[in-house]
Structure 1
Amino acid sequence: MLKKRIFFHMGLKDLRLNDAYSTGMGDDVVNDFYIPILGCAVEYNRISGYFSSKSLAITASGINGLIQNDGVMRLLTSPNLEKKDVECISDILSGDPILLEKYLLQELDSFDLEESFTKDHVKALAWMLKNNRLEIRIALPITTNGNSDPASLFHSKIGYIKDVMGDSLTFTGSNNETGSGLIRNIEDFKVFFSWGSDKDKKCVDIDTLTFEKYWNNESPCVKTVSLPDAVHQRLLTVAPNSIDDLDLEKYYAERKQSQRAIKLYDYQKDAINSWFEAEKRGLFEMATGTGKTFTAIGCLERLLLERTSPLLIVITCPQVHLVNQWETSIRKFDLDVDVLYNSNELGSTWKDKFSDLLSHLNLGRKQSAILITTHRTFSSSKFIEILSRKKKRFEVCIVADEAHGTGAEGAQKGLLPLYDYRLALSATPRRLYDEEGTDAIFDFFGDTLYEFPLDRAITTINPATGMMFLTSYRYVPIFVNLSRGEYLDYQELSTQIQNARFYHGDPDKDVNRDILEKLLIKRANIVKNCDEKYPMFERLLSDISKTLMNTLIFVDPGQFSSILSILDSHNIRHHQFTQSEGAKPAKNGCGLSERDEIIRDLQSGKYQALVAMQCLNEGVDIPSADTGIILASSTNPREYVQRLGRLIRNFPGKEMATVYDFIVCQNLNGVRTILPSELNRARYIGVSAQNSDEILSQLYV
């Protein structure tokens, strides 16, 4: 049976396509280009260099999507003639179609029906021909006076696709639609988008006009003729009565399965089993780099296989860039699902498309769907209203990445009882100073079922790589002191905090909760913005500036402008990495967001450092980064664990990471005392460092 696995009601604009493809660079052009675009298409126009049974087969790559869209196809090709036969073209052009039939039928008669890949695809095209969904014309080179041109070959290669929205793209390059052209040869082609740049639009117009002129026999150098009747009839002999008799996905599914790079290991399988044993509810506490995303997808794969009703899977993430990363991981895993939505790419249309999708799940028209979205959207009143109103005949699974975020007061609204299955992922699920939010997370998702902490990740070999899951690191604490004024302010605020906590002798009283929170923030800002950090940072730059590369600098908003100025004065090539840089893929089809480009430029050496403010704590993959400078003095375990995680991901050539951490102390009468909140962070990071013995001796002098 035909099975559509592409986006439901998606257009070409919604796909993440490259500007160019190259099989020599490892691109899988069949699965990453042809199948997705044809899944959106209502019109497919193709000029291919040669007419052959293989060209028909590969031309039909993804043709099931086009068929289900009630699409039509026009194929313009040339006969695969031997050089000795070229002179016969004159007879063909003079009005004797029998010769053309002879050569085309000769090719079809050599067609091996036992080759299942070729058989199914040619049968699909024959069905389209029979049902007036396909027209084939033959192109023959001629001279300007209309005679045959034995020295010429019709070697043009243009593809022109239009979707239901009226958007279109064209592609041109070296690729013939033959088995070798798409699977074995080294081929390259460029893609142009009607919604792209002015240059793109112009190229689309030129390619479209070129196709139409060839098709309508308006070129002075090419004569276009209809497919001879005998060849038409020969193709119809292999046409099935019903297109549902074919399984066009079979070849691609087998091929992708054999190529799938993702293999689940025993520890991941243990986590998956624990979730099913707990009735599909629970939490995985797994450090960054230990494969928690693929472990979760493994849970979903098994859930999809075992489901007995239509299933909606909602994956919620704290940041937009994580939504894109989840989509990439699901595609890499090749999860078998009917519909995959990325809410970032749906834009303002997400409400209508989400509502339509749920209707189709209720009606059984779709059996499985995934929506990847943000904590903000999944807890919004509109999302809740649509899901609550539409949930009738399907089940729902929620996967919360960085699940600690769902414990925030606003995000808790999204923790609906209607979710049948629940999975939470977080290296640090407990919320600092927020017992109510922490309780909400565990009450909704259930207990921690599986743990893979940081210290285990640094000392355990990853079976996929033969290396540790995470890179080892050196920890270099840089001790800075509060000034006398800062120390007095710190002590005064500490007294006020203590009084607020024990108001009227009742530490659980809520009256002063807001006041207490403001006092804690005010005191934390003194530590974060300690004046001595700036000269000590300059001293550090003087020591390491000659070798400083692939560096992440974590700062607080109050430090941001000063740190940028210091970097400028030391001629350090840097770029900010904040909430203001775009996380959505560019609309020109290149697939890179502004953030992606910045990360790429760090890895290439264009920038030596990224200055991160409040956005590198969760899920941004910058594996090339091997040096971190922590100026922000976070007391939240979740934040400093995540910052460390940004630096110790494995990367080719990275043998060890280095973490410089500015530790704030008070110095009274020559005696240094590390502030308690700072000591907790230093102890946590230091205990797993390669130089842990040295660090512990410094912390407890």
Structure 2
Amino acid sequence: MNDFLKDLEKSLYKGFIDQKSEQIDSYKPKLLINSAHHNENVLSPLLEDLDKCRSFIFSVAFITESGLATLKSHLYDLKRKGIKGRILTSTFLHFNHPKAFKELLKITNVEVRLTNLKGFHSKGYIFDHDSYYSLIVGSSNLTAQALKENYEWNVHLTSHQNGEIIQHFKSQFEDVWEKAAVLTEEWIYTYEETYKPLDYHAAAKVVELPEDYRINPLEEALLIKPNKMQESALEQIEALRNKGLDKGLVISATGTGKTYLSAFDVRQVAPKRMLFIVHREQILRKAKLDFQRILGGPDSDYGILVGQIKETNARYLFTTIQTISKQGTLHSFDKDLFDYILIDEVHKAGAESYQRVIEYFTPDFLLGMTATPERTDDFNIYELFDYNIAYEIRLQEALEEDMLCPFHYFGVTDIEYEGKFVDDTTIVANLVTEERVNHILEKIDYYSYSGDCVKGLIFCGRNIEAIELSEALNKKGLRTIALTGSDDQDERLRQVERLENGALDYIITVDIFNEGIDIPSINQVVMLRQTKSSIIFIQQLGRGLRKHVSKEFVTIIDFIGNYKNNYLIPIALSGDKSLNKDNIRRRTKETNYIKGVSSINFEEIAKRQIFKSINTSNLTT
């Protein structure tokens, strides 16, 4: 008996006969579940088997785009190694969306067939490892929820190739496979014609109001209630004030509703005069509308101070730091006029303009809000607020609380030029070659997006690269526009509106959209530049994290070249600040720390580039 059979026999003894046995358990039968508390999910062991198999067969009734996304980079790496697989699925209950089938067709090393077998409802994953097989069989379909979040039971088994159980599974699969239809573009077209998705959500009961019915704006505002996170934050902010403290810092991940939170707090404080300071005019107008929705009251209560608009007598005044920090403007107000001052994106407060304003006014309470308090300019935001952290919710927690749109991150391999990967010294001419443009198009098509049409942001390293890349992509049939710091606010807003309305596929930029821009419908973010800062990385990733009815998730595609700061990627995604190289390697290899149905995936070559960066970097610098 060879070593494998001995180990398998001992593992089966422990799994099925005596759990207290001291026998080896390398191949022990296991129950696979999803448990955030125990940091377990079905996806991780499935991917482990997939990555080391020689071939595979899946028999799954239901497949979603998000579920498929969790496997795409692994299937790509298998393709590079010449490894193929087969997936058997169906149109049972019309659960599978036509777009999921279109995504399956992109994976050329996987053959897909559709069975019309009545009541087809199987969920089995079988992996061939030459002399033995591993199986995952149970309740999990190929959906992100089933593989990462839902309450599921699946058994993980190992069988010798001559075992009766594996032969039974394989024969069942082959019987149905032989009679199933091959997935083709023509088949999908026919399916689209008859596709009628079931409404799994109970329809909300509609109550029709009389045409002349008018709800009082104040009553309407009071009907809007804070969410779970906001309720907790409001209690903690109030607790600071009850202690007699006059300032507080809220650290809240992008997309978690900081503006609404501040409006709820103003509602409970009811100040006589409030000042809200932002760093961009487009945020100012959006903030004013949000406050009106939460606070209600007459329009005259809300004023703007920017440019030629000087509505300074309003109870709630919204202004930009560029306007309020001007000496003439600042000193036109009494120091104690505002009893409540809010500063959005307060991580910028190290600048002289912010310092001038903060030192001048004497409010009863100052609230600062930011998603990224850690700075690269050595200014201590925490100290500015006397270390009074009113509330903190980071990316991981926000995902776990289902406050953000789930994301699937793909660290993909950038192009090689003359035998070398793209790096920070590569000239622009070599960043927009025909070969690289085709490489970019191949990756954004393969990893795709959620929804009917792409609404994407592409971040480049240089303005000239953004402009030339936009021209090159437009020649390939895409509809893109490059926006740089030289484009004024009106032009930026106009192009954002075009993107939202479907007149553009992508906006290509450098860093003007890192923060302060709200485009909830963004369903794909492409990073074509090196990661110089984990702060900026999270800001750019965060552009797609707002929820929107048009998408179930956002796709993040990060082109990883030969950059010395690649080690910042796993640091940013995991939040690990240990500066321990072994920890960072582990965060690159094992990515099940990400919460909810989101996933982090690195192509094998891209992963090697990160390991190289970790090995050669002095992390303490």
TM-score range, shorter chain: 0.5 to 0.7
Q: Which of 486, 489, 496 is the equivalent residue of 1:599? A: 496
- Residue 373 of structure 1 deviates from its aligned partner by 1.1
Checking the alignment, whether the CA contact within 8 Å between 2:532 and 2:565 is kept in structure 1 is no
After superposition, give the CA deviation of every residue in 1:458-502 in whole Å (9 maximum; x if it has no partner).
121xxxxxxx211212111123479799999x9xxxxxxxxxxxx
Distance in 2 (CA, whole Å) between partners of 1:403 and 1:450 is 14
Q: Which of 400, 420, 424 is the equivalent residue of 2:368? A: 424
Q: Which amino acid aligns with 1:618?
A: E
After superposition, give the CA deviation of every residue in 1:485-527 in whole Å (9 maximum; x if it has no partner).
9999x9xxxxxxxxxxxxxxxxxxxxxxxxxxxxxxxxxx648
After superposition, give the CA deviation of every residue in 1:563-587 in whole Å (9 maximum; x if it has no partner).
122212212111234445554xxxx
Which residue in the other structure is 2:268 paired with? Answer: 302
Q: Which of 388, 392, 400 is the equivalent residue of 2:343? A: 400
Equivalent residues in 2 for 1:60-99 (5 A)?
none
Equivalent residues in 2 for 1:401-480 (5 A)?
401-416=344-359, 418-420=361-363, 421-432=365-376, 434-435=377-378, 437-439=379-381, 442-444=383-385, 446-460=387-401, 468-480=402-414
Q: Which of 553, 557, 563 is the equivalent residue of 2:469? A: 563
Q: Is the aligned partner of 1:692 residue 2:600? A: yes
SS of 1:407's equivalent in the other structure is coil
- Residue 544 of structure 1 deviates from its aligned partner by 4.1
Checking the alignment, whether the CA contact within 8 Å between 1:481 and 1:665 is kept in structure 2 is no
After superposition, give the CA deviation of every residue in 1:397-430 in whole Å (9 maximum; x if it has no partner).
2201111122224432222253321001101022
Q: Which of 292, 296, 303 is the equivalent residue of 1:341? A: 303
Checking the alignment, whether the CA contact within 8 Å between 1:573 and 1:606 is kept in structure 2 is yes
Q: Is the aligned partner of 1:289 residue 2:289? A: no
**Distance change >3 Å, CA 623–CA 326, structure 1 → 2:** same
Q: Which amino acid aligns with 1:629?
A: V
Which residue in the other structure is 2:550 paired with? Answer: 653
Checking the alignment, whether the CA contact within 8 Å between 1:578 and 1:615 is kept in structure 2 is yes
**Distance change >3 Å, CA 473–CA 256, structure 1 → 2:** same
Checking the alignment, whether the CA contact within 8 Å between 1:475 and 1:659 is kept in structure 2 is yes
Which residue in the other structure is 1:267 paired with? Answer: 229
SS of 2:303's equivalent in the other structure is strand
Distance in 2 (CA, whole Å) between partners of 1:326 and 1:417 is 23
Q: Which amino acid aligns with 1:422?
A: L
Which residue in the other structure is 2:186 paired with? Answer: none
Checking the alignment, whether the CA contact within 8 Å between 1:261 and 1:332 is kept in structure 2 is no
Distance in 2 (CA, whole Å) between partners of 1:542 and 1:378 is 48
SS of 2:390's equivalent in the other structure is strand
Checking the alignment, whether the CA contact within 8 Å between 1:480 and 1:533 is kept in structure 2 is no
**Distance change >3 Å, CA 646–CA 442, structure 1 → 2:** same
Which residue in the other structure is 1:511 paired with? Answer: none
Checking the alignment, whether the CA contact within 8 Å between 1:376 and 1:411 is kept in structure 2 is no
Q: Is the aligned partner of 1:629 residue 2:526? A: yes
Q: Which of 257, 261, 265 is the equivalent residue of 2:219? A: 257
Distance in 2 (CA, whole Å) between partners of 1:530 and 1:637 is 27
Checking the alignment, whether the CA contact within 8 Å between 2:522 and 2:543 is kept in structure 1 is yes
Q: Is the aligned partner of 1:382 residue 2:331? A: no
Q: How many percent identity over aligned positions? A: 20
Distance in 2 (CA, whole Å) between partners of 1:533 and 1:262 is 49
**Distance change >3 Å, CA 594–CA 454, structure 1 → 2:** same
Q: Is the aligned partner of 1:610 residue 2:610? A: no
Q: Is the aligned partner of 1:326 residue 2:287? A: yes
- Residue 454 of structure 1 deviates from its aligned partner by 0.8
RMSD: 3.7
Q: Which amino acid aligns with 1:287?
A: A
SS of 2:318's equivalent in the other structure is strand
Which residue in the other structure is 2:440 paired with? Answer: 540
- Residue 554 of structure 1 deviates from its aligned partner by 1.3
**Distance change >3 Å, CA 528–CA 641, structure 1 → 2:** farther
**Distance change >3 Å, CA 418–CA 253, structure 1 → 2:** farther
**Distance change >3 Å, CA 695–CA 267, structure 1 → 2:** farther
Equivalent residues in 2 for 1:107-186 (5 A)?
184-185=210-211
Q: Give the TM-score, by structure 1 length.
A: 0.47
After superposition, give the CA deviation of every residue in 1:295-329 in whole Å (9 maximum; x if it has no partner).
1111111221xx5xxx3211111111100110110
Checking the alignment, whether the CA contact within 8 Å between 1:480 and 1:532 is kept in structure 2 is no
After superposition, give the CA deviation of every residue in 1:228-281 in whole Å (9 maximum; x if it has no partner).
xxxxxxxxxxxxxxxxxxxxxxx9774651475621134312212222222341
Distance in 1 (CA, whole Å) between partners of 2:573 and 2:240 is 36
Distance in 2 (CA, whole Å) between partners of 1:397 and 1:445 is 17
Which residue in the other structure is 1:277 paired with? Answer: 239
Checking the alignment, whether the CA contact within 8 Å between 1:428 and 1:637 is kept in structure 2 is no
- Residue 391 of structure 1 deviates from its aligned partner by 3.5
Which residue in the other structure is 2:3 paired with? Answer: none
Checking the alignment, whether the CA contact within 8 Å between 1:323 and 1:372 is kept in structure 2 is yes
After superposition, give the CA deviation of every residue in 1:357-376 in whole Å (9 maximum; x if it has no partner).
3xxxxxxxxxx712111122
Equivalent residues in 2 for 1:346-361 (5 A)?
347-348=307-308, 350=310, 354=312, 357=313
SS of 2:237's equivalent in the other structure is helix
Which residue in the other structure is 2:70 paired with? Answer: none
**Distance change >3 Å, CA 683–CA 258, structure 1 → 2:** closer
**Distance change >3 Å, CA 695–CA 472, structure 1 → 2:** farther
Distance in 1 (CA, whole Å) between partners of 2:557 and 2:488 is 28
**Distance change >3 Å, CA 372–CA 528, structure 1 → 2:** farther
After superposition, give the CA deviation of every residue in 1:327-354 in whole Å (9 maximum; x if it has no partner).
110111134476321124xx3353xx53
Distance in 2 (CA, whole Å) between partners of 1:265 and 1:623 is 19
More helix by share: 1
Q: Which amino acid aligns with 1:319?
A: R
Q: Which amino acid aligns with 2:321?
A: H
Distance in 1 (CA, whole Å) between partners of 2:466 and 2:550 is 31
- Residue 647 of structure 1 deviates from its aligned partner by 1.0
SS of 1:376's equivalent in the other structure is helix
Which residue in the other structure is 2:25 paired with? Answer: none
Distance in 2 (CA, whole Å) between partners of 1:635 and 1:527 is 16
**Distance change >3 Å, CA 638–CA 419, structure 1 → 2:** farther
Checking the alignment, whether the CA contact within 8 Å between 1:553 and 1:631 is kept in structure 2 is yes
Checking the alignment, whether the CA contact within 8 Å between 2:277 and 2:342 is kept in structure 1 is yes
Q: Which amino acid aligns with 1:272?
A: L
**Distance change >3 Å, CA 341–CA 526, structure 1 → 2:** farther
SS of 1:643's equivalent in the other structure is helix
**Distance change >3 Å, CA 402–CA 453, structure 1 → 2:** same
Q: Give the TM-score, by structure 2 length.
A: 0.53
**Distance change >3 Å, CA 419–CA 656, structure 1 → 2:** same
**Distance change >3 Å, CA 270–CA 529, structure 1 → 2:** farther
Which residue in the other structure is 1:199 paired with? Answer: none
Checking the alignment, whether the CA contact within 8 Å between 2:218 and 2:297 is kept in structure 1 is no
Structure 1: runs of 5 or more not aligned = 1-182, 187-250, 358-367, 461-467, 491-524, 584-592, 667-672
Question: In the comparison of the two structures, how many residue pairs are matched?
Answer: 371
Distance in 1 (CA, whole Å) between partners of 2:430 and 2:358 is 43
Checking the alignment, whether the CA contact within 8 Å between 1:624 and 1:654 is kept in structure 2 is yes
Distance in 2 (CA, whole Å) between partners of 1:621 and 1:647 is 9
Structure 2: runs of 5 or more not aligned = 1-208, 576-587, 613-621
